[in-house]
Structure 1
Amino acid sequence: MYVEIVQGADLSKILYINSDGASAGSRLADSLDRDEFAVEVLARRSEATKALDQLEPDLVLVACAAPDGGTLRFCAGLRTVSSVPVVVCSPSAREADIVRVFEAGADDYLVTPMRSVELTARLRAVLRRTAESPKKQQQGDLLVAGPIEIRLKERKVLRHGSPVDLSPIEFRLLTTLVHDIGRAVSHSKLMAHVWGPEYVDCRHYLRLYIKYLRTKIEDDPRNPKLILSEWGVGYRFEPVAA
């Protein structure tokens, strides 16, 4: 069952899951800014789906000693039933662990321990970033660029009419590129829009996810025609005939 810690109608609701009972994770929950967040602690990971329906949180924060298979499966499963942003925090700073967490559908990864002010800033950035999508929908819920169709409200992508399974990060990356169709988008702008301003220097994440995206939407990922590299600048989405 979940345990209510703080309630507040004007606060962002955080569903906190200490997946392996680590004491560091408990300290992390205690460090959350209670003037900004209403925190709900989930005692058992298996009850996450029920808690999502009942609490309707703005963000899910998952703490673990290391992002093992159970944590990754949990994140991937959560992504299939909800679009709520997911943040994983762990003491592990291994790049392989961080990449696997993003691949499982998480929106951010935090290396603990970290100061309360930094934790608050990072969670605030994720909430702000994920809240930007509805604003874009005011320009229309459908983007069509060559063989690619993006349904913003449904958060779905079609290629030549067939669904493409994209992670939340891949979806944001593609949408950001298509919104500036035909124009080069700088590395820093892509990093800030997709991951947040604190990631502008982590270009290896961007290169990795451009590779993933090309694998899913290009006819020949080794000879891309849609997502083009602008050397020294960034990337450009160039539509071709559908």
Structure 2
Amino acid sequence: MKKLQVLMVDDDWKLRNLLRIYLSKEGFDTVEAADGHEALLKIQNQSFDLVILDVMMPNMDGWQVCQSIRKTQSVPILMLTALGETKEKVQGLELGADDYLTKPFDPDELIARVHALIRRASTVSSKQMENDVLNFPSLIVDRDGRQVFVHHEQIELTQKEFDLFATLAINSGRVLSREQLIEKIWGYDFEGDARVVDIHIKNIREKLKKSGLTYNPIQTSWGVGYKFDTEVKKS
């Protein structure tokens, strides 16, 4: 069986070496990048199952690297940060990171988060529905192809954005709480901030509006969560 590939991006070679030791013991193949530019070159030429990305790096920080990766790929990204501020973590989530871990970290927690991210990435939310394609006014959700079309033009969603959008569409008309969405998309063992759902919803709405969709299909149920509304409502 082919080993899973993990790209480790950090300018500190000592930390990269520790990560390599931890991950190798778990059976992962590891590839190292000492800075953001090297990481992006490797991602262009090789497929990875996970990226572990440090925030504080010279020349090109982790947020910039994350943003660049998300333009073309939905590979899970685990951010390593020495910053404990919530606003810093929220910034990473807004740019497309899937999870974060504050340094110094416990090796067991690192491995647990790595396995959780890879497990979630391999779970296809489309198993929850029978229809391959969902059709709405000016909007198509192709759950088998993991694509969303507005006016027959594809819009680019990250892996988690698609999973979230498809889950809401599958359960059209039903209000899903943030906790339910987190359990379905991120898994029951997710320990991050529940606001990750709000951040992804905000990004999806902006992309749909920018694509020319004249209504907002994701409605907020205040104090509860969100629902996919099949009725056409103006944005």
Alignment match, 2:96? 105
Task: Find the partner of 1:151 among 142, 154, 158.
Answer: 142
Paired residue for 2:7?
Answer: 15
Offset of residue 226 of structure 1: 2.4
Q: Judge which range, 41-50 or 86-95, deviates more.
A: 41-50
| One-letter amino acid matched to 1:106 | A
Partner of 2:187: 196
Distance 1:137 1:184, change over 3 A: closer
Structural RMSD (CA) = 3.3
Distance of aligned partners of 1:232 and 1:200 in 2 relative to their CA distance in 1, 3 Å threshold: farther
Aligned residues: 229
Structure 2 residues without counterparts, runs of 5 or longer: none
The C-alpha deviation readout for 1:15-43, integer Å capped at 9, x for no partner, is: 1111x327555544443361342222224
| TM-score of the aligned structures, taking structure 2 as reference length | 0.78
* Alignment counterpart, residue 86 of structure 1, candidates 77, 81, 100: 77
Q: Which residue is equivalent to 1:45?
A: 36
CA-CA distance at 1:212 after TM superposition: 3.4
User: 2:58 & 2:168 partners in 1: Cα distance?
Assistant: 30
Q: Is 1:122 paired with 2:113? A: yes
1:189-228 correspondence runs (5 A): 189-199=180-190, 202-217=193-208, 226-228=217-219
Distance (Å, rounded) in 2 between the aligned partners of 1:134 and 1:191:
12
Task: Say which SS state the counterpart of residue 81 (structure 1) adopts.
Answer: coil
Is the Cα contact below 8 Å between 2:35 and 2:57 reproduced in 1? no
Pairwise CA distance, 1:228: 2.5
CA distance in 2, matches of 1:137, 1:51: 35
1:5 aligns to what? none
In 2: Cα distance, 1:103 partner to 1:201 partner: 14
What aligned pairs does 1:138-177 form with structure 2 within 5 A after superposition? 139=130, 141-177=132-168
Taking the TM superposition and a 5 Å limit, the aligned residue runs for 1:225-240 are 226-240=217-231
Q: For 2:202 and 2:34, locate their aligned partners in 1 and report how far apart those are by CA, in whole Å.
A: 38
Pair 232,27 (structure 1): closer, same or farther in 2 beyond 3 Å: same
TM-score of the pair, normalised by structure 1: 0.76
Any conservation in 2 of the 1:129–1:193 contact (CA below 8 Å)?
no
Hey, what does 1:6 align to over in structure 2?
none
Residue type at the aligned position of 2:73: S
- Report what 1:136 is aligned to: 127
Partner of 2:23: 32
Report deviation, 1:131: 0.8
- Contact 2:78 / 2:98 at 8 angstroms: preserved in 1? yes
Give unpaired runs (5+ residues) of structure 1: 1-8
